[in-house]
Amino acid sequence: MIRILFVCHGNICRSTMAEFIMKDIVNRQGLLEHFHIESSATHTDEIWNGVGSPVYPPARAKLRENGIGTPDNELGVSEKRARLTSRADYDKFDFIIGMDSANMRDLRRIFGGDPENKLYMMLDFAGRSGDVADPWYTGNFDATWRDCSEGCHGLFRQILTDAGYAGELSEAEGDVDWDDDCGDTDSGLIHDDFPRG
């Protein structure tokens, strides 16, 4: 099982969009049962009396516009509620991905550092540096979609080309023939059959 946690300030826009984009990617590959994907907040702004806010309506609309959270591809969007990141999350996840530099500072504080090198910035997987556009301030959900989509696609490709994870996924696929270095092999997975941001 490959475990991924996406994190932003409130867990109602960016990290939830990333969570469901990633779930959609692996679902389209027929690999959803081999991944555990969640998202969480670094602050309690969207958690009231222990109950988290649902996905922010414009973020949910952007997901629906791209075929996620629809009746035939719900993926849990309607049940999602914001939750706070806990220190215990560090041991539970393989990848913990912050949306911006403030999230990364908060995560290092929550976890007391990053001894196992599990913390990543989202846009590192998109091949560029910087923060994911925050639609809470900009109102630009298109930019956030692009950033999250590019980051999630890059993360998925990195997982596919990592020898350890590739081996796990090839076992999941049964007769997939991976070579020792995960080089030019036919993984049997459909890498590019999903829309990009």
Asked if residue 157 has pLDDT above 90, the reply is yes
Rounded mean pLDDT, 124-136 = 94
14 is catalytic: yes
Q: What is the predicted pLDDT for the residue at 172?
A: 60
Name the CATH architecture for the domain at 2-173: 3-Layer(aba) Sandwich (3.40)
Q: Could you tell me the two tokens for 89?
A: 């999350």
Q: Which long-range contacts (CB under 8 A, 24 or more apart) does 57-65 make?
A: 58/13, 58/135, 58/139, 58/141, 59/12, 59/13, 59/14, 59/16, 59/17, 59/135, 59/141, 59/144, 61/141, 62/17, 62/141, 62/142, 62/144, 62/145, 63/17, 63/20, 63/21
R_g of the chain, CA atoms, integer Å: 16
Q: Say which of 14, 24, 83, 147 is annotated catalytic.
A: 14
> What percent of the chain is modeled with pLDDT above 70?
86
Question: pTM of the full predicted structure?
Answer: 0.88
Report the C-alpha gap between 147 and 129 in whole angstroms: 11
pLDDT of 186 above 90: no
175 is catalytic: no
Q: Is 149 exposed, middle or buried (0-12, 13-18, 19+ CB in 10 A)?
A: buried
Is the per-residue pLDDT at 179 higher than 60?
A: no
Active site residue 89: no
What integer is the mean pLDDT of 148-158?
96
Catalytic: which of 24, 89, 106, 134?
A: 134
pLDDT at 165: 82
Q: What is the mean pLDDT of residues 58-79?
A: 96
